[in-house]
A and B are shown apart, each in its own frame.
Chain A
Amino acid sequence: GSSGGAGTAASGAGGGEPAQGGTVRAAIAGDPTTLDMGLNTGSLTIVPGINIFENLFAMDESFVPQPMLAESYEVSEDSRIYTIRLREGVTFHNGEPMEAEDVVASLERWQQISATGTAAAAAIESVTADDASTVTIQLTQPRYSLLADLAGAIQGAIIIPAEVAEAAGESPIPTEEIIGTGPFEVESYTTGTGIKLVRYEDYAPSEAESSGLSGEKTAYVDAIEYSFVADPNQQLNGLKAGQYDWAQSISADQYEPLQNDPQLDVFTVKSSLIATVLLNHNENSAFSSVEARRALNKAIDKKAMAQASFGPEDLWSPLNGSFALPENAPMHSEAGSEVYEEHDPEAAAAEFAELGIDRPIRIFTSQTYPKYYQMAVVLQSVLEEAGLEVDVQIYDFPTMISKLTEEPESWDISMTAFSGAVSAPSQVLFLSPSWPGEYSSETMDGLMADYSASTSEEEARAAVDAIHEEIWNDLPAISIAPNRTLGTKSKKLQDMSDFSSGIFWNAHLGE
């Protein structure tokens, strides 16, 4: 296969009508336990979820929000009133038409349970249904990111029937009430074994051109069968043996070997992650001072670290310090890259010596995500070379998260990755005070406010650049490199979008 061989969704529309039918067999890493995409932030939920649920808006190819379930929208002069017209003829999987009151209830729930939603809620005065197909969102202050917020995929503002939204409240939606508007609906969910989605026959596609998560969606395949296969190696074996058409988590180490596989395609996915060194700003942390953070930044050779952890260059390029992927035009920025590129181990060692850090640096990491664990191992050797003692502590993921939050005095560094597909700076988790690391800065708060108050693209652009500048000035965390998700599928599965992991509309099975 060739890299990037999988075309975008659009390319499918070019030739004759693709073949209908067939079942896609997909391997995902485990049982998501809930398909409630509005609540769960994990990829196991999102991967099937994006085929089931839709939002009012959705990101296009270049991460710009486009109407999805919305037909159109108007923004008032003062940027405080959004009037959104809903698309006609959209029905839920239970056959009921989607109406404004469903949207209102869905957005209410979103404001309660989603991180982005709660952030947005601070600016939202009310969400009301004007008539069956019009929703008005009234803001207390301008919020430039509102449409992007509504288009987000992580704990996204999915539109579900009002009764479902109200019944679930803050709890996960039970499996039998997983009802969306997307091109596929849930047929069965056998805990522990798998999920089966089937084509939603009454799906009403948007007329806009298909792009990213937005636009026209056609379900060519009859069904998608997700199997839970925990071991990545087994996912690969299954792919090779023809047991699966697509696998979620093939190790990046397979990238090069698989490029020569006659049966399989490998490609990188656009909506990927940014590998980040998370720093603790707690006063007990060695990195509560900006000097220490700067020394650390100098000590790290980002390229070497990326190479060691992620392997082939395609998987971590282009190398830069933005919190957003280059494809994510509105959020990506090169500002501060001179700091990012600084690599001077000697200077770092000298600075550390001057700071007189005399206790081991405590790095928390988890083998649940092997790549970040590997980053920790590399970082360990980097720091040891810089003359520091290092204590790497490894936990299973839930334990690590719980320790990061509940024992803020117990760690200095952790490894993680944040979504590079954020649609607003406020979604950058390491900038949020409620995220482990306790970062808070008035300068940053001001810049965030500037962004929210933006009313034009230019203003927003300037704010994004300023935020990047400040990030590389104050170093709340250190972004290392994009961490491209590997897309792996059999050649039989054609025209699968590489925008995000596991998009099965517009894809079809060849002969």
Chain B
Amino acid sequence: MLITVLRRLRDLVLVLLLVGTAAFLLIHMIPGSPAAALLGPYATKEQIDALTASMGLGAPLYVQYLTWLGNLVRGDLGFSSSFSLPVLDVIAAHAMPTVTIAIASTVLSLLISVPLAVYSVAKPRSVISRFVPGLSAVFLAMPTFWFALLLILVFAVTIQIFPTAGYVPPGEGLGLFALHIALPTVVLASHQVALFVSTLREGVTGELLKSYVRTARAKGLGETAVLVRHVLKNSLLSLITVAANSFGALLGGAVITETIFSIPGWGLTMYNAITARDYALVVGLTMTFALLFVVVNFVADLLYGVVNPKVRV
């Protein structure tokens, strides 16, 4: 166990370093500077140069990189130029919406898709089941922003039951908070549900052909018992991987959805940080995403073990 954890940790550190370095180099490669961003569109070159120097960004790239590495070792992700705050504080401050939406969307999707997929396989000729495969295919093919625009038009502009955009921290009222993250969550969940349903449908149908199902039927179990007691658990395996990947990706901030709905989560912050050439923040966020991605997948492996005793950790 210890060895496994250590090996995982080593891999994690490697991935983080790789990702961090890549982000560092890439963002510095992009023209433009934090100073220019701070000064706005009508700043002159002199002003920009002066501010750049005073921000300590004048040094050669390798020196800046080594400094960054040195700080990183000490757990210091640097200082965000656009927020004038330590990067970690900025990341923490913007965690709430992204994490909530990612969790809400994933949980909601699982709650919907698992029964739906099982039902649609079990009762293929019911009305709902006939529409499930087609609908999930359509939702998988639909760019999320397209669906988001549609939802806004219907639910925020026409019926006006949800706000069109914006965000209210849960501290200022849970109801308002929920109202504001409702549409983005639905947008992301629509895609996830489609993904999960199609994964699970395939999983369940595939499992149905395995011999142990025949054994269960040979015991005289009814189809419902066969599905729920035997097939479901085994077909969750592929879903776990897919769900973890999808959840991990959402934790990386759904940039487009957050932009459309003006949700100040990690995705929008990342987008703004890039626009503002906030070097430290871009690198910090990138590493946070990578960390969460790896951790979520590790947890998925653990879960995998719960379902599949063969690979139990």
- Whole-angstrom CA separation of A371 from B92 in the bound complex: 36
Query: Given A234-B165, A242-B160, A40 and B40 touching (CB < 8 A)?
Result: yes
* Interface range, B side: 35 or more
Q: What's the nearest-Cβ distance from chain B to residue A175, in Å?
A: 8
Is A42 engaged at the interface, CB distance under 8 Å to the other chain? yes
Is B234 engaged at the interface, CB distance under 8 Å to the other chain? no
Residues of A within 8 A of B54 (CB): 170-171
Is A432 engaged at the interface, CB distance under 8 Å to the other chain? yes
Residues of B within 8 A of A435 (CB): 44
Is A312 engaged at the interface, CB distance under 8 Å to the other chain? no
Q: What's the nearest-Cβ distance from chain B to residue A283, in Å?
A: 18
Query: Given A192-B268, A193-B264, A237-B164, A33 and B276 touching (CB < 8 A)?
Result: yes
Is B206 engaged at the interface, CB distance under 8 Å to the other chain? no
Residues of A within 8 A of B169 (CB): 190, 193
Query: Given A33-B83, A229-B262, A398 and B32 touching (CB < 8 A)?
Result: yes
Whether the pair A237, B45 counts as a contact (CB closer than 8 A) is no
Query: Given A171-B54, A434-B44, A435-B44, A243 and B163 touching (CB < 8 A)?
Result: yes
Is A378 engaged at the interface, CB distance under 8 Å to the other chain? no
Residues of B within 8 A of A399 (CB): 30-32
Is B211 engaged at the interface, CB distance under 8 Å to the other chain? no
Residues of A within 8 A of B84 (CB): 34, 172, 174-175
Q: What's the nearest-Cβ distance from chain B to residue A111, in Å?
A: 12
Interface residues of A in 212-271 (CB under 8 A from B): 227-231, 233-235, 237-238, 240-243
Whether the pair B33, A113 counts as a contact (CB closer than 8 A) is no
Whether the pair B37, A398 counts as a contact (CB closer than 8 A) is yes
Whether the pair B272, A237 counts as a contact (CB closer than 8 A) is no
Whether the pair B42, A115 counts as a contact (CB closer than 8 A) is yes
Whether the pair A229, B165 counts as a contact (CB closer than 8 A) is yes
Whether the pair B41, A241 counts as a contact (CB closer than 8 A) is no
Q: Which of the residues B44, B82, B83, B269 comes within 8 Å of A115, measured between beta carbons?
A: B44
Contact string against B for A residues 324-337, beta-carbon threshold 8 Å, 1 for contact and 0 otherwise: 00000000000000
Segment at the B interface, from A294-302, A402-410, A478-486, A498-506: A402-410
A-B contact count (CB 8 A): 146
Q: Which of the residues A192, A235, A405, A436 comes within 8 Å of B93, measured between beta carbons?
A: A192
Q: Which of the residues B45, B163, B259 comes within 8 Å of A434, measured between beta carbons?
A: B45
Q: Which of the residues A41, A172, A193 comes within 8 Å of B42, measured between beta carbons?
A: A41
Contact string against B for A residues 35-51, beta-carbon threshold 8 Å, 1 for contact and 0 otherwise: 00001111011000000
Is B201 engaged at the interface, CB distance under 8 Å to the other chain? no
Q: What's the nearest-Cβ distance from chain A to residue B107, in Å?
A: 24
Residues of B within 8 A of A170 (CB): 50-51, 54
Q: Which residues of A contact B (CB under 8 A)?
A: 30-31, 33-34, 39-42, 44-45, 113, 115, 118, 154-155, 170-172, 174-175, 190-194, 227-231, 233-235, 237-238, 240-243, 395-399, 401-403, 405-406, 418-419, 429, 432, 434-436
Q: Given contacts A399-B30, A429-B44, list 7 more A-B pairs with CB under 8 A.
A: A33-B37, A39-B39, A44-B40, A230-B268, A231-B260, A234-B165, A397-B41
